[in-house]
Amino acid sequence: MIPVQGYTGARVAVLGLGRSGLTAARALRAGGAHPVCWDDNSDARARAEAEGFETSDLSRSGAFDGVALLVVSPGIPHLYPAPNPYVAAAWAAGVPVDNDIGLFFRSFATEDWSDYETPPKVVAITGSNGKSTTSALIAHVLETAGKSVQLAGNIGRGVLDIDEPDDGGVVVLELSSYQTDLARALTPDVAVFTNLSADHLDRHGGMGGYFAAKRRLFAEGGPDRAVIGVDEAEGHYLANQMSEGAGDDRVIRVSSGQKLTGAGWMVFARKGFLSEYRKGKQIGSIDLRAIKGLPGVHNHQNACAAYAVCRTLGLAPRVIEQGFLSYGGLPHRSQIVAEAGGVTYVNDSKATNVDSAAKALSAFKRIRWICGGLEKEGGVSALSDAAGAVVKAYVIGREAAGFAIQLSGVETEVCTTMEEAVRRAAAEAEAGDTVLLAPAAASFDQYDSFERRGEDFMVQVAKVTGAA
């Protein structure tokens, strides 16, 4: 655990007692603070009380008297679509508001580091798509290279729940916009921006607010090195903001699909080959085509970002390549779950928006596409242009018929349930086909998470392939 520094003897309010909130309360107590906890869910309060934490309704008059800080769990909206009443009460009382990410960056470094030969480093990854794969891939490559590494944040453990780092240790953090938006301290050694596409717009008051939340990772603390995907205008803007000139190699620009030129540090992938250029000269390359854990152009972008991070941490290209070759992929992200009768079954339940689903559709040739769920703002009609490799779509979800209507030019079948969709896709699939779950929608109409949806897909695949 990382004990929270700076609040010894102080009363600190904690709002939201899920994984990150309860961990924050523990870390505050470990640092000598007195947490005062609240959650509207009585079961969550009971769990906190069972650990000896004080609970107190933060909506009551005077609730913030004598409180030094309010720590808000990232899943709780604080400003949009409307100010959270608890957060507004803290504002009115003049109480600073933070989250567990801010507490982590304020508490990570300790006096013990003066005895270390190599100070620990933090790599933080944000963006719309590819964060999890990029984070896991970086951690995997570092581990295979013999480095001490911990994976945390939006993936793996909570940030305050990790172990205090070893000499030369690296902490790899996946950070969502929910986590970067409110943190009062953001000071990674290396910051990564993968890409940007519309998502969580209600939470951030629109696309500008969403990008601003991501940009805070770079603007608030000034990382020693920034790895920035420049396949969208926002990435170009951010790279320009962070750079002092064309040859400034504190910024590493990465791309998938275009050759990058210039005097700076570039990593890009084209036609399945990753290339590293510095000062106009190629100094490294990797053939990504045979790496099964990284299928498709979107994963090649993730590979470029991970490669750039590992290079800035001192790893040689061949060492990174060996790590890539042994990477098995993440559950629910382009995860090959079965191969039977010449048909490949792929679980990409994490493709919860249009952009990530489009990238999944570009990774395979003949696709039996399982899609649908709780639609996000803007609908899914734009996916018709990305569905050229789709033989047929099998639509699930409570609003499956409405979802199917938007897929003009694509043969569709309304299945509603995962069981029926997998059964029908498997029955019609031919050798060489890929049955792909890439929902392009949230899971909450039928499942409590994208993980549960992906697990159901795997159960149904096991049934039709005889592996159950």
Q: What is the 3-state secondary structure (H, E, C) of 140-157?
A: HHHHHCCCCEEEEECCCE
Asked if 269 and 100 touch (Cβ cutoff 8 Å), the reply is no
Asked if 358 and 386 touch (Cβ cutoff 8 Å), the reply is yes
Angle between helices 19-30 and 42-50 in degrees, nearest 10 = 30
Burial class (CB in 10 A: 0-12, 13-18, 19+), 42: exposed
Residues comprising the chain, all counted: 468
Look at residues 101, 108, 144, 148 and name the one whose alpha carbon lies nearest to residue 125. 101
Is 148 known to sit in a ligand binding site? no
Look at residues 187, 308, 176 and name the one whose alpha carbon lies nearest to residue 253. 308
Cα distance between residue 21 and residue 419, in whole Å: 36
Is 129 known to sit in a ligand binding site? yes
Cα distance between residue 140 and residue 306, in whole Å: 10
Is 127 known to sit in a ligand binding site? yes
Q: Which two tokens stand for residue 300?
A: 């090649």
Cα distance between residue 48 and residue 25, in whole Å: 9
CB contact set of 239 (below 8 Å; sequence gap of 6+):
226, 228, 230, 251, 253
Give CA separation, 252 vs 53, 246, 283, in Å: 45, 11, 14
Is 299 known to sit in a ligand binding site? no
Asked if 177 and 93 touch (Cβ cutoff 8 Å), the reply is no
Query: 121 has which bridge partners?
Result: 170
Is 176 known to sit in a ligand binding site? no
CB contact set of 21 (below 8 Å; sequence gap of 6+):
14, 15, 37, 39, 71, 73, 100
Amino acid identity, residue 61?
Answer: S
Asked if 126 and 305 touch (Cβ cutoff 8 Å), the reply is no
Cα distance between residue 416 and residue 339, in whole Å: 24
Asked if 275 and 284 touch (Cβ cutoff 8 Å), the reply is yes
ω into 81 cis (within 30 of 0): yes
Is 434 known to sit in a ligand binding site? no
CB-facing half-sphere around the CA of 48: CA atoms within 13 A: 30
Is 402 known to sit in a ligand binding site? no
Can you say which residues are annotated as belonging to the binding site?
127-133
Can you say which residues are annotated as belonging to the binding site for ATP?
127-133
